[in-house]
Amino acid sequence: MAEQSQPRIIETAASMRAEVRRLQREGLRVGLVPTMGALHDGHLSLVRMAQKSCDRVVTTIFVNPTQFGPQEDFSRYPRTLERDLQLLREAGCQYVFVPSKDEVYPPGYSTEVDPPAVAKRWEGECRPGHFRGVCTVVLKLFNMIPADVAVFGQKDFQQAAVLQQMARDLNVGMQIKIGPTIREVDGLAMSSRNRYLSPEERQRALSLSQSLNAAQAAVAAGEKRAVTLAAMIGETLQPQVDHIDYVAIADAETLEPVDAIGPNTVILLAVKIGKTRLIDNCLLSPTRHE
């Protein structure tokens, strides 16, 4: 593989914005991939997606404190900056924005984004304040990095829906793209939090993708009732996980629950295995064939 040069690390909003504007004046398109670091192939797939339609890509690494609840894993969230930079270099990403907490939340800051209705259920109920923190930080990143395109992952399905709606509602002039969920070979959706899992917990975590696959197969075989599918999923998850936060079968746009599988239905799962909270999802279609 050709040796890529080290991405340029930028720490301040002022220099980041100036650099993006300079690139755009040269006629270059800029892509933005927001992350919290501890990068894996899922994140890198978003970088590659941005590269398809952009000349330069900015990846941001910021573990955003405002999207973590008081009982959540902010302080132990994995921070692996050196390795992240190496992976971004190999992926050919040109810029990494690594702001300090004060750069993002200057002293005296008090404005927040009230998330859209699609944030209300599921993650919104289990993690009060989470989407307020996500919307606020992402809108800040949009303002600090006025890119042409921003890319997010389907792995965080509700987050992607919330951010697309926020971008529409608040006239963000940036194209929002959603990249597919990247999985380990055994089906586990890649996540920075997977590294918390012991080998035994990791084995049990396969029940998420297995239950989604079983539901997809049942739908392909003609099952349309959400209640039946939710029960099936629950039966697969129950013996393996320590807590089920929710099994949602919902309209993929509004995320409101549905009774029957339609042309645009999503299954969303959130569980706890040991101390680790994991989410996964899949889109369904009654005409889908495996």
Binding interface with ligand AMP (CB under 6 A): 35-36, 42-43, 45-46, 152-153, 155-156, 179, 181-182, 189-192
State how far the Cα of 230 lies from the Cα of 223, in Å rounded to an integer. 11
Distance from C-alpha of 94 to C-alpha of 99, rounded to nearest angstrom? 16
Which amino acid, residue 24? Answer: Q
Rounded Cα distance between 162 and 27, Å, is 30
Residue 51 CB, nearest distance to ligand AMP (Å)? 15
Spatial distance between the Cα atoms of 162 and 121, rounded to a whole number of angstroms: 11
Q: Which is nearer to ligand AMP, 35 or 211 (CB)?
A: 35
**Contact predicate 207/237, CB 8 Å:** yes
d(CA 23, CA 2): 24
In the complex, least distance from residue 10 CB atom to ligand AMP, rounded to whole angstroms: 18
Q: How far from chain centre, in Å, is Cα 268?
A: 13
**At its nearest, how many Å lie between ligand AMP and the CB of residue 184?**
9
CA distance 99 to 168: 26
Name which of 51 and 181 has its Cβ closer to ligand AMP: 181
Radius of gyration of the chain (CA): 19
Residue pair 64/159 in contact by the 8 Å Cβ criterion: no
Tell me which amino acid residue 65 is: P
Q: How far is the CB of 15 from ligand AMP (least distance, A)?
A: 23
Of 36 and 57, CB closest to ligand AMP: 36
**Closest CB to ligand AMP among residues 165, 191:** 191
Q: How far is the CB of 120 from ligand AMP (least distance, A)?
A: 19
Chain centroid to CA 276: how far?
A: 17
Pairwise CA distance, residues 1 & 65, whole Å? 37
- The residue (of 148 and 218) whose beta carbon lies closer to ligand AMP is 148
Catalytic-residue membership of 43: yes
Considering the candidates 43, 130, 243, 289, report the single residue annotated as catalytic: 43
Amino acid identity, position 157: F
Supply the residues annotated as catalytic.
43
